[in-house]
Amino acid sequence: MPPISLNLIAIGIFAMTMFALLSPLLNIPLVFPAATTFSIMGLLTLDTLVWNNRGVNLLLDLFSSAEQRERVVYHEAGHFLTAYFLGIPIQGYSLTAWEAFRQKQPGRGGVQFDTTALEQAGRNPNQINLMLDRFCTVWCAGMAAEILQYGNAEGGRDDRAQLYAVLSDLGYREGQRQQKEQWAKLQAKSLIERNQQAYDALVKVMQQRACVETCEQIIQHHSQMEMMED
């Protein structure tokens, strides 16, 4: 069970325990806190096993602060920009759990990539390292973007899990996985900094929920302007 669900269960159990202790003083039958605790735990378990935590994600999304929502945009724009420049096709994106739910995507939002190239490269030893470097950079770009904007990264748990899963399948040991992550973050950070104008413009149009084609046109336009200025 994911940490978010476990934390909610722990909070719920604590609250219901306090309610049970106080219920005699309030003349409330013990059946009510017991039934409430059972219902909450049952719903969280059902959400985890059947709905892939979509219920929890939607609930948490309702209480997201403006800064958290802004962080998501900067994070996902980092993924989008690096994928564009590294030639990884972008299929779509979502910035909230509700948008992800409507698009039938897991989690609380994100950029969806076409991973066909990585899967095909796995059959060709001469191409796997090149494609792996590109995808590792894209997976770490959200964290790199947050660090550039805010000085730290709060998101990226799922990105890191995906990165480590692929590296583990390829035989990378723990220390090697960590080194690869740090390398990929530096690559992504450098790419974003070299295309800062395009990245800033991308953030603005993604906030307006522009389509993928429009986002790519914005990046292309501003990257050409930066080349002319240089």
pLDDT in tens, 25-61: 666 665 565 566 656 565 555 545 445 555 555 556 6
Residues 6+ apart with CB under 8 A from 152: 146
Structure tokens at 12: 């719920």
The whole-angstrom separation of Cα 125 and Cα 195 is 31
Q: 107 pLDDT exceeds 80?
A: no
pLDDT digits 0-9 by tens, 116-161? 888 777 667 677 888 999 999 999 999 999 999 999 998 888 899 9
Q: 4 pLDDT exceeds 80?
A: no
pLDDT digits 0-9 by tens, 166-205? 999 888 999 999 999 999 999 999 999 999 999 999 999 9
pLDDT score recorded for residue 224: 81
Residues 6+ apart with CB under 8 A from 168: 177
Structure tokens at 37: 């605790």
pLDDT score recorded for residue 26: 62
pLDDT score recorded for residue 189: 97
Structure tokens at 122: 């796995």
Q: Write down the residue that tokens 């939607």 correspond to.
A: 58
Nearest to 76 by CA among 167, 202, 173, 197: 202
Burial grade of 24 (CB within 10 A; 0-12, 13-18, 19 or more): exposed
pLDDT digits 0-9 by tens, 83-101? 999 999 999 999 987 787 7
What is the pLDDT confidence band of residue 1, given thresholds at 50, 70 and 90? Answer: very low
Structure tokens at 70: 């802004």
Give the SS3 label for residue 16: helix
